Amino acid sequence: MTTSHKPRVAIIGGGPGGLCLTHLLDQAGIESTIFERDTSSVDRFQGGTLDLHFEDGLKAIKQMGLWEAFVKHARYEGEAIVIADRKGVKYFDEKPGEEDADRKEQRPEIDRVKLKEILLPNLPEGRIRWGSKFLSMGLEPTLKLHFEHGIEEGFDLVVGADGAWSRVRRYLSDTLPTYSGVAGFDLKLSAAGVKKYPHIANFVGLGSYFAFSDQKSATLQRLGDGGIGCYAWKVQAEDWQATCGYDVSDKEAVRPALLEQFKDWCPEIREYIKHADGDMMPRSLYMLPVGFTWEHKPNVTLIGDAAHLMTPFAGEGVNTCFADCLELADKLSEKVKAGASKEEFDAAVKEYEEGMFKRAAKVTRETKENMDAFFYDPNFPGNIMEIMAERMEGPPGERRPSAGQIIDQVIGN
């Protein structure tokens, strides 16, 4: 005879994925606690802007009951997209409203910092244990979670939402992320800078401007605070920070290096680099293998980057993470409502993993293909319309995606 089980869930990591999951578990009546290594929500740079998709990101926002808060910060005009080469020759130029009417509701932009601000309020006091650095855990006979502050017990499931270099992942697999071959810098021109240099703002437009050439890219994006962010990527060796010949932590050393790298690019991009007044943070892009899986083990699983780290070149990272949260919470909720046993509860986690593996394999493959096109196809972006045409062809009877949705897939907006 089995007895019903009401589980307690420990979530390692308080990023968007961990916050989304705890909201959804609340709705299912499942107790959860987030353990976050940062001491507050503003300890680290949160990143630039992203778009949430109707079928996963926006679905999660609505299911969490946060739609009204979300639309206050969502930028529908941010869906404007330009794809060009280093000389500023445009191969695709789309503004909101030029397509089918429902697209405005499908993929609005929002700054990562605002997304986190939306997810943080209304959580019970003590739900997030700030300053909790996860060290290790014991799985048998009962879960014991080791943190710098001590040992935590009494949990039935540990969910690793701890990002690219997940410490939870090592209990499921020895696989580590590998270097993608692409690295560069995050830059920012403040709102004051945008007002001072309006020609740069006019060049970028209302949304995003993507330029690709010669194994480099410059992605300029409008931000919700009035500024303009930029990712300046380049194909380079993994040890580039140690061998580049300048101090990557000194922006006044970084600036001339970037101007040299982009010396034959259009004046507006060089002007942006010249006048960028925010920090210039070095970034190296890592990824897990396409189709990464692990053998199921009781009491532990992963979501988000911990489960399927990918480069940002399909715009699916947070959306795929939110899909993980939706599916895991749904599977667990079904079992709890049915009065399931601990064994049946674990079976639900395994079901989640099997579905997630298939879904993530498709997205990570798409992201890898995009990266290869952006940085290794000498015809890109000149062949962007051919790529769009190929991707719009689907099986007979299947609804074809809109041009805007294809572009989102191709350039990761």
pLDDT digits (tens, 9 = 90+) for 87-139: 999 999 987 654 444 444 467 888 888 898 899 987 988 999 999 999 999 98
Q: Which pLDDT value is given to residue 407? A: 54
pLDDT digits (tens, 9 = 90+) for 299-328: 999 999 999 999 999 888 899 999 999 999
pLDDT digits (tens, 9 = 90+) for 66-93: 999 998 888 877 778 899 999 999 999 9
Residues near 159 by Cβ (< 8 Å), separated by ≥ 6? 9, 10, 11, 12, 18, 21, 168, 300, 301, 302, 303, 328
Overall pTM > 0.75: yes
> How far is 19 from 24, CA to CA, in rounded Å?
9
pLDDT digits (tens, 9 = 90+) for 159-177: 999 999 999 999 999 999 9
The b/e string for 224-237 (b: 16+ C-beta within 10 A; e otherwise) is beebbbbbbbbbbe
Residue 34 tokens, joined: 């987030």
pLDDT digits (tens, 9 = 90+) for 359-413: 999 999 999 999 999 999 999 999 998 887 776 665 444 444 444 554 555 555 5
Mean pLDDT of 226-230: 95
**In percent, how much of the chain has pLDDT > 90?**
70
Q: Which pLDDT value is given to residue 43? A: 60
> How far is 273 from 266, CA to CA, in rounded Å?
11
DSSP strand pairing (208-213 vs 216-222): antiparallel
Phi and psi at residue 48, to the nearest 5°: -90, -125
- Give the mean pLDDT of the chain: 89
Q: For the CA atoms of the chain, what is the radius of gyration?
A: 22
Q: Which pLDDT value is given to residue 170? A: 96
Residues near 389 by Cβ (< 8 Å), separated by ≥ 6? none
pLDDT digits (tens, 9 = 90+) for 235-285: 999 999 999 999 999 999 999 999 999 999 999 999 999 999 999 999 999
> How far is 103 from 79, CA to CA, in rounded Å?
9
Contact 228, 272 (CB under 8 A): yes
